[in-house]
């Protein structure tokens, strides 16, 4: 199981990696649940994240196939095969509407020099759309799905969906051959319950920061979160081997 930590600037990368983040996520929390960072900020974050550590890039909400193609094609990242791009579909709720957008994103990702893996994002506080995102992601050839919350008002993922529903969603994603990530204002006190659902990835921002999601990532907070996630012995050894460089090796366990 991997821990994704969202950073808003290159200055937060060292704390995320020093705390043991398996995936670094570039996101501007001031611009919403999936707010993209500016192009120059993304380039600077990319420079700070070693190429063996996966980099996730939030691209916001997809409005049209043309916009999807434009934002993916414009990505300024130097890595190859260790990147994710995340797209949400706030105003779209049907599989027939989602498929053209996801297929456009998958095609643009395949053409990009970095070959980023496409993650389709659903919002737990957006009704039935999450199920449509899961089905469309499978049909479009996406690499994975993320269930997040659009509202950042103190409520968490667990306030919107029961653990039973979340477990079913994780299992359905796995059965569809997708990587499954869960996020949505998940705090330290919620983490054990989310871990028990067995997603592949757990994403955090506020819990990793001093002062909440608008604050700054702190290594000690990331370390406390990472300590609660299971990790295979081989991955632990790999992390220890790279401590001398200051950068943890990401776990590939699920």
pLDDT in tens, 48-74: 999 999 999 999 988 889 999 999 999
pLDDT the model gives residue 94? 82
Q: Parallel, antiparallel, or unpaired for β 216-217 and 209-210?
A: antiparallel
Residue 252 falls within a domain, yes or no? no
Strand, coil or helix: 215: coil
pLDDT the model gives residue 238? 47
Report the predicted TM-score, pTM, of the whole model to 2 decimal places.
0.89
pLDDT at residue 235 tops 90: no
Average pLDDT of span 138-161: 95
Q: What percent of the chain has pLDDT over 70?
A: 89
Catalytic residue among 86, 117, 213, 221: 86
Residue 254 falls within a domain, yes or no? no
pLDDT the model gives residue 20? 97
pLDDT the model gives residue 158? 97
Does 254 qualify as catalytic in the annotation?
no
Judge residue 143's burial from the number of C-beta atoms within 10 Å of its C-beta, 0-12 exposed, 13-18 middle, 19 or more buried.
Answer: middle
* Number of separate domains in the chain: 1
pLDDT the model gives residue 127? 66
**Confidence band of 81 (pLDDT split at 50, 70, 90):** confident
Catalytic residue among 27, 117, 205, 213: 27
Range(s) of the domain holding residue 191: 2-245
* Range name among 4-13, 24-33, 145-154, 226-235 with the lowest pLDDT average: 226-235
Average pLDDT of span 126-145: 90
pLDDT the model gives residue 245? 42
pLDDT the model gives residue 249? 38
Residue 161 falls within a domain, yes or no? yes
Strand locations in the chain, DSSP E? 2-7, 23-26, 55-61, 83-88, 117-123, 144-148, 179-182, 201-204, 209-210, 216-217
Residue 251 falls within a domain, yes or no? no
**Confidence band of 234 (pLDDT split at 50, 70, 90):** very low
Does 86 qualify as catalytic in the annotation?
yes
Residue 250 falls within a domain, yes or no? no
Residue 253 falls within a domain, yes or no? no
User: CATH no. for residue 172?
Assistant: 3.20.20.380
Q: What is the mean pLDDT of the chain?
A: 89
């Amino acid at each position: 199981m991997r821990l994704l930590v969202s950073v808003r600037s290159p200055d937060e990368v060292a704390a995320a990696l020093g705390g043991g983040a398996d995936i670094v996520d570039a996101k501007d929390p001031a611009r919403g649940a999936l707010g993209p960072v500016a192009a120059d900020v993304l380039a600077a974050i990319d420079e700070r994240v070693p190429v063996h550590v996966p980099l996730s890039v939030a691209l916001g909400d997809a409005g049209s196939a043309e916009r999807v193609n434009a934002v993916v094609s414009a990505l300024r990242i130097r890595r190859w095969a260790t990147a994710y791009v995340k797209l949400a579909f706030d105003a779209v709720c049907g599989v027939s509407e989602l498929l053209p957008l996801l297929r456009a994103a998958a095609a643009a990702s395949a053409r990009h020099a970095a070959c980023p893996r496409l993650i389709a994002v659903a919002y737990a506080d957006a009704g039935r759309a999450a199920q449509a995102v899961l089905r469309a992601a499978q049909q479009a050839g996406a690499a994975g799905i993320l269930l997040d919350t659009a509202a950042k008002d103190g409520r968490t993922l667990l306030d919107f969906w029961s653990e039973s529903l979340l477990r079913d969603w994780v299992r359905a994603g796995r059965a569809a051959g997708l990587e499954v990530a869960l996020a949505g204002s998940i705090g330290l006190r919620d983490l054990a319950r989310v871990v028990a659902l067995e997603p592949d990835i757990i994403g955090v921002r506020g819990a990793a920061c001093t002062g909440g999601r608008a604050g700054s990532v702190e290594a000690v907070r990331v370390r406390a979160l990472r300590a609660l996630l299971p990790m295979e012995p081989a991955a632990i050894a790999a992390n220890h081997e790279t401590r001398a460089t200051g950068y943890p090796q990401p776990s590939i366990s699920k």
